[in-house]
Each structure stands twice: as C-alpha cells, then as structure tokens.
Amino acid sequence: MKCLIIAAGRGSRLKHNKPKPLVKLLGVPLIERVIRTAIEAGADDFFVVVGYRAEEIENFLKELSRKLSVPIKSIRNERWSELENGYSVYLAKDYINEPFLLSMCDHIVDAEILKKLTQCRVEDGSVYLAADVRKGFEFVDIDDVTKVKLDGDVIVDIGKALKEYDAYDMGVFYCSTAIFDALGEAIREGNSSLSSAIKILGKEKRARVCPIDKGFWIDVDTEEAYKKAERHLLETLKKKTDGPISRYVNRPVSTFLSRFLVRFNITPNQITVFSFIISLVAAFLISQKSYLSLAIGGILAQLSSIVDGCDGEVARLKFLSSDYGAWLDRVLDRYSDGLIILALTVHVLHYNFSLTVVVVGFLALLGSFLVSYTAIWYDELIKRKNLKVFRIGRDLRIFLIFLACLFNIPLLILIFIAIIMNLEALRRIIVVY
C-alpha cells in the first residue's frame, strides 16, 4: 500500500528551530512517527511532499528509508509558500495510480485507526476521510480543527469556520486517484486547498467519512498540542499488568527518566544491561554483613527495578520494541531476582547459620521464579479478559526487599516472600485453569 505524506509547510506556530517534520516528539521526529505508524497499518511505499527547508528533510528521509528498509521518495513543492496543501497532494499524481493512504506530517494517529480507514472500499472513485464523531474529545483544538458536515456518511461541507458540523477532520484519508482529478479542477478554479477537492467530490457523493469513535489522534500544530501529545504518549506507557508498586511508585519515576533518555542514542537493550549491572552491585552489597551495606544494597535493588521499566518505555516511545529485547529483559530479570534473594539469604546466614534459613531462602527463590514463570499466560489472560486484579509480581517483591534492607528485617521479609509468592503462584494456576 502506498502512502502520501504532506510535509511542505513551514509550521511556524510550532516554535522550534527545525523544520516541523523533523521536530522530535519524545526522541522521534514527527515525520518518522507518521511513517512508522503507517507501516504498522500496512503501508510499504512512501511519497513525501517537501517544501520548506526541503534538503534537510530529504536527507533525513534517505537515511530513514535505509534504516526502515522501505522506499521513501521525496517530491519537491517549489510553490509551498504561495499555494495551499491541496497542491502538494496534486504533485503526486504522476507517482501514484492506485488507492493510497494520505496523511499530514504533523498528525499523530493510532495505527488501529489507519487500519480501519484502509478497509474502506474506494474502487468506485471515492475518497474516505477518517472523521472523529466524538463530541468533546479532549485533544481537539476546537478553534483550529477542520469540521465536517455530513449527510449520512457523505461529506456535504468541510472547513474550519463551519458553525454546524457532525465530525472532526483527523487529517488522514484513504483515496482513490479521483482525488487528483478533483484537485486539478479546484486548482483551475483558484482553490488549492485539499478541502476544496473534498467539496467537489462531496457533490458527487464520492467524499465519505470513516467514522471514528475511539482511539487517539492529535494535530501537533502548536506548542500546546505538542505538550498534550507528549503527555498522552507518556501516559500510554502504563500497562494493565502493572502491579501496585510499578503503577504508583516505579512508573512515575521511570517515565520521568525515559522522557530524558529518549533524547540520546541509547538502546533499550543497553538500559536492560545497565539495570542488571545495578542489581549485581545491589546483590553484592546485600550479601555483606554490615547494615550500611545492606541498606545501600536495598536502595540499589529498588533503583534497578525502576530503571528496568525504562527499557520497555524507551522501546515503545522510539519504535524499538523487539522480541529479543523482551526476552533478554526477562532472562536478566530472573538472574537479578535469584542473586538478590540469594544475597539476602547470605546476609541472614551471617547472623543465623541454620538449615531453616536456607529452606526459607530456597522457598522465597522458588516462589519468585514460579510467579515470573506463570506471568506470561496470566498477564495475557488479564489483557484478553480486561480483568482488574491486584497483581503480585516482581515490582512488589523488589520493593519488599528494599524495605527489608532499609529497616533491617531481612529474615522477616524472606519468610513473607516465601509465603506470599508461592501462594500467588498457586492462585494463578487456579485462575488460569
């Protein structure tokens, strides 16, 4: 599927020193976000119309094309400053001769919305606009958004100044090549906006909407919209399977760190390894006999747990998620868990060398591993059934160890972990059954 992206304008309201398509939102340029999301929706051949500071954008797109292994062709719009966005679309007429996805470079839209849009049938020469039919959607700038008036699903009028309207223009279309004919007609009449062509097609009942009533989208056209988009993307880092400590203690700190880390060329796997190294230092300190070493080790263990959330967050924010990265994270987490619980057991053995302590430490280790092992099916069940449960997992376990080290009650917490983790594993077996 071909995808045409309009990126010719100056974007002066978004006050950055870069051309708007190259403005980074949480470490990823806007144009790259649009392209990666379109790839998720099935697009595999891209055309980008550039104008303002075209050479910079073209150089970036060449490198992005190599990195993503998809063709990205730049089309120059030399009249970007005098004509409206419809002319940019019209310039692609010689490159596209089949149905295609059309997007603006500054509209962030969920991939699921694009997938729904591209299921529309345009074989009869229609154009479909993704239109938000929700009233009061919090990410819409009501004074700036393009409004749409409908007769059923047919667009009868479109524009920013409409007083009566039924939906909001989301800035993404699924088009037949009829859009080029309509744009040619509009341009000859002296109207070079995309909305003018939609009105022409609307009169022929060939401009329709794909109604959208859920999902996220935003036009990143102003500083305020930029901040809203940033807040939303950070909010989406929360997971249904987050335990209480992860959700209310770790996640606020890890997202703060991730917001900083995405600015640098740091990979999620590097963060995973760094978190593991912190846990190794923590385990060594916890295994020592002194309280000071125990307390510092506990703090580092909790810090490792927080940093461990950053790898997945950075991966999702920068489109760097991978099966290997997720697997590596799970493997190193198990090593980390085992070594920290072993270290806590060794610390207790310094003061109470007995078989009972060894058994308690073994049961704590066994229960921890079983809870981690059962997590894959259990978490999948939570997501699939949309269950709301109190989740006992690694976040709580490490936090309890942190408290044990801080308040110098290692044996008590070892006993508690041994009991609670094995009971949780048993409970999951019953729930999944």
CATH class name, domain 237-432: mainly alpha
- Taken as a whole, the chain contains a residue count of 433
How is 22-66 classified by DSSP, letter by letter?
A: G-EETTEEHHHHHHHHHHHTT--EEEEEE-TTHHHHHHHHHHHHH
3-state SS string for 71-97: CEEEEECCCCCCCCHHHHHHHHHHCCC
Q: 275 with 337: CB under 8 angstroms?
A: no
Q: 165 with 148: CB under 8 angstroms?
A: yes
Residue 431 pLDDT: 83
Residue 285 pLDDT: 98
Per-residue pLDDT tens for 23-57? 999 999 999 999 999 999 999 999 999 999 999 99
Q: 160 with 146: CB under 8 angstroms?
A: yes
Given a cut of 90, is residue 316 above it in pLDDT?
yes
How far is the C-alpha of 432 from the C-alpha of 420, rounded, in Å?
Answer: 18
∠ Cα 165 31 51 (to 5°)? 85
Given a cut of 90, is residue 363 above it in pLDDT?
yes
Given a cut of 90, is residue 92 above it in pLDDT?
yes
Percent with pLDDT over 70 in the chain: 99
Distance (Å) of CA 331 to CA 272, 335, 359, 408: 10, 7, 24, 29
Residue 29 pLDDT: 96
List, in order, residues 6 or more apart from 289 with CB less than 8 Å away.
347, 350, 351
Given a cut of 80, is residue 386 above it in pLDDT?
no
Residue 277 pLDDT: 98
Residue 378 pLDDT: 83
Options 3.40.50.1380, 3.40.1160.10, 3.90.550.10, 3.40.50.2000; CATH for 2-222 is: 3.90.550.10
Query: Phi and psi (nearest 5°) for 47?
Result: -130, 130
Given a cut of 90, is residue 143 above it in pLDDT?
no
- Are 2-222 and 237-432 in the same CATH fold? no
Q: 262 with 241: CB under 8 angstroms?
A: no
Kindly give the pairing relationship between strand 72-76 and strand 154-159. Answer: unpaired
Q: Spell out the domain ranges in the chain.
A: 2-222, 237-432
Closest CA to 372 of 321, 335, 400: 335
| Segment 391-405 mean pLDDT | 92
A 10 A CB-CB count for 269 gives: 17
Per-residue pLDDT tens for 180-196? 999 999 999 999 999 99
**Residue 200: Cβ-neighbour burial (10 angstroms; 0-12, 13-18, 19+):** buried
Distance (Å) of CA 248 to CA 201, 253, 254, 301: 51, 9, 11, 17
Residue 242 pLDDT: 81
Per-residue pLDDT tens for 210-262? 999 999 999 999 999 999 999 999 999 988 778 889 989 999 999 999 999 99
